[in-house]
Structure 1
Amino acid sequence: MTAPALSVLDLVPVRHGQTSAQAVTASMALAVRADGLGLRRYWFAEHHNMPSVASTSPPVLIAAAASRTSRIRVGSGGVMLPNHATLIVAEQFAALEALAPGRIDLGIGRAPGSDPVITQLLRQSGTAADVERFPSHVQDIALMLQPEGATLQFTSGGEYNVTSTPAATGAPQIWLLGSSDYSAQLAAAHGLPYVFANHFSGVGLERALDLYRTAFQPSAALAAPLTFLTANVVAAPTADEASERALPQLRTMARLRQNKPMTALETVEQAVAGLAATSDSAELALIDSMRERWFIGDATSVASDLASFAARHGVDEIMVSPVSGSYEAEPLDASPGRVQTLELLAG
């Protein structure tokens, strides 16, 4: 069985005692290591007001990672378009394409990436917040990113030309992201690459891929369906270590799904102690359910399971979210567990 190409989805995790600066430093080092290991792409997610996540601004993080790497594609997984004006997104990613020509991906999502209060704050200044116009907003960005730009038509009959940068020689590759049928159908209708957010829930994966592939309409950007899978992954020298390192993120996700107050990620020791002391049957059930869908174990078993997963769904690439936690003694400005996951899987 052929091993799939590997890519990385990074939420820039923040653990107890760690500053945002230290978390970002750790993620930049991880991006550099991914580049050196020959991985295909490195994407930053967009989330807001979460104590355990520092990936609030993908364009800033992409620029920093692109400046530290030489060959890996760098992008967003994704930019949550309802939070932003379309021209701003196009200008940001045109600038990124100029900084790292041929290496920029623009993944676009329709969800807000936060709670309703923060969503309202993000949209106060006027953005592409009307989700009913999401398809036209995606098209607007794609047109503005092209070297020739876009032409606005006024009701009075006039025209106005808009470009995201004065003299582009290329454009980022646009991907639609989603965890429901909507983005799969939209990507198919417009001939765009598509990624299902399998790392978030996994529910509806088969249906979304089938809808996308069946309804796909070739476009100038893409002749045939193009997709890959995301997955939460922890690989370690032993299955026991991998199981321990997965606990901080498992417990955080369980709290999120129960609408409990969020905190910075626990250390492995804190998570092990917390799990041993809990009597919350709902939390335990959620953790067990997520364990079944995540890829946790030694290098051989995880690599084999990822290859089977890719083959089963007909893709040649897996974007891993390396959710390996840190032990208390490990440095705050590094993430040895996440580096270890990538190194073991890259062979």
Structure 2
Amino acid sequence: MTTSGPHLSVLDLVPVRSDQSTGDAVAATLALARTADALGYRRFWIAEHHNMPAVAATNPAVLIGLIASVTDRIRVGSGGVMLPNHAPLVVAEQFALLEATFPDRIDLGIGRAPGTDPVTSWALRHGAGGVTDEAVSRFPEYVDNVLAMMEPAGVGLALRGREHILKATPAATSVPQIWLLGSSDYSAQLAAAKGRPYVFAHHFSGSGTKEALELYRSTFQPSAALAEPRTFLTVNASVAPTTEEAERLALPQLLQMAALRTGRPLAAQRVVEDAELIVEAGLPDGHQELIDAMRSRWVIGDPSSARAALESLAATYDVDEVMVNPVAGAFAGGDPRSAAAREQTLTLLAG
């Protein structure tokens, strides 16, 4: 990887194309992770989404284990685990075990949003007796619980007049690096108060990044885990030998995001040629304007212009690391167990 410019990392949602099965999509993600590892990318994070026809990242811990087992040096983590969906002990156990197996390579990014629709959120955790609003309101407490239970000494739990020691794993020697994630001021304030690293979802939100990072930095309280603020930037990217090709490869994901943000039914991610036919047939009212607005915030272009755009973003937000979500789609007839254009994006950005 080129030594100039910000460090580069990868965010992956494990997209499922119309020419793929779930198994194919996972195989493509493993190939993408091996490429990122070989190119010198700093970290590879998996998102959490549920009940979506074009996203297979339903279980970050399982995917992290698969990815870490086929890579050598890259840090692997969650971007993020949506904590209100899960019992804190389960998350602590999963990531303590991952850290024990792959020491000093595991990141635990924690988010507060559900990452799904209300019905699926209920089925994930709350069908077993929990209440969605309660889980969200107790998010700071749940974060503390996860952190404490992963420590080698564990945490004391008072129950029926006795204290019980609760550990996520019997003999921990290290803990994952814990990050707080968000797309609003809430997590920025919480991360600052707890002295933890923080990431704003710039790739998804596209607005409010500067304000959130300023709030985090200005209110940061040093902790035993972190002496000063630490953050990076996330961005969607499609890079190809020519800008024209990069634009074509970005189109399937742009259509997906337009459908998501306008409440239209979602489908598996289309191949480029099918996406182009949809545009030629005419988009619903307002969709082209929405696509144009998203495109302006994404990094889409040839290698030179894309790297320059990343350097500009890093300078604008004063970060030394950019996490790229490679959104390039696929042309018809490609290998369903690979994501050639996504790997191309990483290769061309690495220089």
Structure 2-normalised TM-score? 0.97
Give 1:17 shift.
Answer: 2.4
User: Is it true that 1:216 corresponds to 2:220 in the alignment?
Assistant: yes
Residue type at the aligned position of 2:23: A
Alpha-carbon separation, structure 1, partners of 2:272 and 2:321: 29
Looking at structure 2, the residues matched to 50 and 114 of structure 1 have their Cα atoms a distance apart, in angstroms, of 8
Distance 1:29 1:172, change over 3 A: same
SS at match of 1:199: helix
Q: After superposition, where does 1:122-137 map in structure 2 within 5 Å?
A: 122-123=124-125, 124-126=127-129, 129=132, 130-137=135-142
For the pair 1:29 / 2:31, whether they are aligned, the reply is yes
Q: Secondary structure at the match of 2:92?
A: helix
Matched AA of 2:98 = L
Q: Distance in 2 between matches of 1:161 and 1:302?
A: 51
The superposition leaves residues 155-175 of structure 1 with CA deviations (integer Å, 9 ceiling, x where unpaired) of: x54211111000000000110
SS at match of 1:229: strand
Partner of 1:189: 193
User: Which residues of structure 1 form unaligned runs of 5+?
Assistant: none
Aligned-partner Cα distance in 1 for 2:215–2:283:
41
Which AA in structure 2 matches 1:259?
G
How many aligned positions are there?
346
CA distance in structure 1 between the aligned counterparts of 2:314 and 2:218, rounded to whole angstroms: 19
Is 2:204 the partner of 1:200?
A: yes
Counterpart of 2:138 in structure 1: which amino acid? R
Describe the superposition over 1:137-183 as per-residue Cα deviations: whole angstroms up to 9, x where unpaired.
Answer: 001100111111111134x5421111100000000011000000000
| Residues 209-288 of structure 1 mapped to structure 2, 5 A cutoff | 209-288=213-292
Mapped pair 1:179 → 2:183: yes
Q: Partner of 1:234: helix, strand, or coil?
A: strand
Q: C-alpha offsets along residues 277-315 of structure 1, whole Å, 9 cap, x if unaligned?
A: 114231111100000000000010000010010011110
Matches within 5 A, 1:323-342: 323-342=327-346
Partner amino acid, structure 2, of 1:301: S
Render the CA deviation track for 1:305-344: whole Å, top value 9, x for unaligned. 1001001111000000000000002110000000000000
Q: Which amino acid aligns with 1:205?
A: T
Map 1:303-318 to 2 at 5 A: 303-318=307-322
Corresponding residue for 1:64? 66
Paired amino acid for 2:278: G
Structure 2 partner of 1:15: 17
**Does structure 1 residue 74 correspond to structure 2 residue 79?**
no
The one-letter code matched in structure 2 to 1:67 is S
Residue identity in the other structure for 1:143: A
Query: Structure 2: which 5+ residue stretches go unaligned?
Result: none
* Deviation readout 1:221-269 (Å, 9 max, x if unpaired): 0000000010000100000000000000000000000100000001000
Q: How does 1:147-162 map to 2 (within 5 A)?
A: 147-154=152-159, 157-162=161-166
Are the aligned partners of 1:83 and 1:128 in contact in 2 as well (CA < 8 Å)?
A: no
The correspondence for 1:164, drawn from 161, 164, 168, is 168
Helix, strand or coil: the match of 1:200?
Answer: helix
* Residues 82, 128 of structure 1: 8 Å contact kept: no
**Counterpart residue number, 1:141:** 146
Would the aligned equivalents of 1:242 and 1:297 in 2 still touch at CA under 8 Å? yes
Distance 2:338 2:275 in 1: 19
Deviating runs (4+, > 6 A) in structure 1? none
Q: What is the TM-score when the length of structure 1 is the normalising length?
A: 0.98
In structure 1, give the amino acid aligned to 2:68: A
Percentage identity across aligned positions? 58
3-state SS of paired residue (1:78): strand
CA-to-aligned-CA distance 1:30-59 (integer Å, 9 cap, x gap): 001100000000000000010000000000
Query: What's the CA shift string for 1:196-226, capped at 9, x where partnerless?
Result: 0011121211110011000000001000000
1:112 aligned partner:
114
CA separation of 1:314 and 1:62: change in aligned 2, threshold 3 A: same
- Is 2:292 aligned against 1:292? no
Distance 2:348 2:189 in 1: 36
Q: Report what 1:88 is aligned to.
A: 90
- Shift of the alpha carbon at 1:273? 1.3
The structure-2 alpha-carbon separation of the partners of 1:128 and 1:67, relative to structure 1 and needing over 3 Å to count, comes to farther
CA offsets 1:80-102 (integer angstroms, 9 cap, x no match): 00110000000000010011000
